[in-house]
Chain A
Amino acid sequence: MSHDHNDKVIASVEAALAPLRDGMTILCGGFGLSGNPEALIKGVVTRGVRDLTLVSNNAGNLGKGLALWLRAGIIKKVICSYIGGNEDLHTRMASGEVQVEITPQGTLAERMRAAGAGIPAFFTPTGAGTVVEEGKEAREIDGRRYILEKALPGDVALVRAQKADRFGNLRFWRTARNFNPVMATAAKLSIVECDELLDNGAIDPDDVHLAGIYVHRIVHVPEHENAFEFRTVRKRGA
């Protein structure tokens, strides 16, 4: 897929998501409910595509975020690292409605990094000698056991950024960065939802977190819920 890098800003979430098709593999940024592309997630349900393979660290939680896709019944398979208390996924995994592939979190990130960087597979120590090794090639290198993990490319990446310029150079906020940049590199089409849209030049080139070469569509969404999962605080003066 070739893209017009001079014209990326799209007026609406609906228009930005028009290229989505049934059966696609969608990489969706976020760690739990942090750094989620909230408007794009809702927009995919409205878009009406189904039989999706979702790649996400958690696939939602507390009925929020990507739990919307689970509830809408549009997911056929989830590739994630952690389910935890995500009851929407537990029930659908148990019923067989959704197939679940659990991957160590670092392997999940690295499989997408590899996909974006033209590396078809890599050897990693993570998971060697565990159930993760089952069905995979293993090799001893310099006395240590490694397993071969394959790159994980996507058709579409849904990405949340704090700031984007019109070329698609991105900046992220705190731990909302998580899987967002690596997913943008691994998909044929990367759609970014940004809190702030800036003119080119407004982000100093040295301050860019992800270069716009990996970004194809930008939607400006100023308002977000930014839900808390566990709101832990200290009392003042403590």
Chain B
Amino acid sequence: MSIQPWTTEDMARRAAREIPAGSLVNLGIGLPTQVADYLPQGHAWLHSENGLLGMGPFPYEGDEDPNLINAGKQTVTVLPGGSTFDSASSFGMIRGGHVDIAILGAMQVSAGGDLANWAVPGGKVMGIGGAMDLASGCRRVIAMMQHVTKKQEHKLVGHCDYPLTASRTVSLVITDLGVFEPTGHAFRVVELAPGITREAAAKATGAPLI
């Protein structure tokens, strides 16, 4: 079997399988946004933290409204049954545990479930946005990222050395090499991409695999 790490499309398709029918989901900016493409119509309700529930796909050309946007400031639509609300209410939904699942991009995830996704040490400060609220407030947090950096550095690690977004919060990590569950001191292998051996995955991981 040839080694075929997952593409970002494969990762998004795999992440979509983690979303039960009828759930309320917040998809983070970047990679997680693609997960929406693999959700059957009417399967789940998408929440956008700038104040929108029941978010639909991008509008048809000519229908776009600069005052109907998602948290990434992209023009979107609202589906029947959707609603809009202010920022304090929106984050009340998040912090109050009313949003079932957040799928968030990540820079590092530790075996203990710590998430780092907002700042690179020594890098340009982009800000926190809704990341900390989503990571600490949503009932289940799934991280999506490439398994290693472009310089082949570990991103699944024993302890994060990037600034934390939230501690002990990630319940599942989906990477190009597979699906992994932080268990405290190790990552449990849930699934591996085609042709990826446990040895290859272990070498690419900065904490024990079990």
Q: Spell out A's residues near B (CB within 8 Å).
A: 31-35, 57, 61, 80-84, 90, 93, 102-110, 112-113, 124-132, 172-182, 209, 226-236
Contacts and interface: CB of A to CB of B under 8 A. Distances in A.
B133 interface: yes
Contact of A175 (B69, B127, B167): B69
17 contacts: A31-B50, A34-B66, A34-B69, A81-B128, A110-B88, A110-B95, A127-B136, A130-B167, A174-B78, A174-B84, A175-B67, A176-B67, A226-B67, A229-B73, A233-B62, A233-B64, A234-B59
A173 B66 CA distance: 11
Contact of B125 (A61, A102, A127): A102
B133 A107 contact: yes
B44 to A, nearest CB: 20
Contact of B128 (A34, A102, A129): A102
Interface residues of B, number: 51
B187 interface: no
Interface stretch (B3-11, B12-20, B158-166): B158-166
Contacts of B58: 232-234
A31 B177 CA distance: 36
A34 B73 contact: yes
Contacts of A81: 127-130
A86 to B, nearest CB: 9
Contacts of A236: 60-61
Contact of A182 (B48, B52, B87): B87
A173 B67 CA distance: 7
Nearest to B164: A130
B69 A110 contact: no
A113 B87 CA distance: 10
A130 B88 contact: no
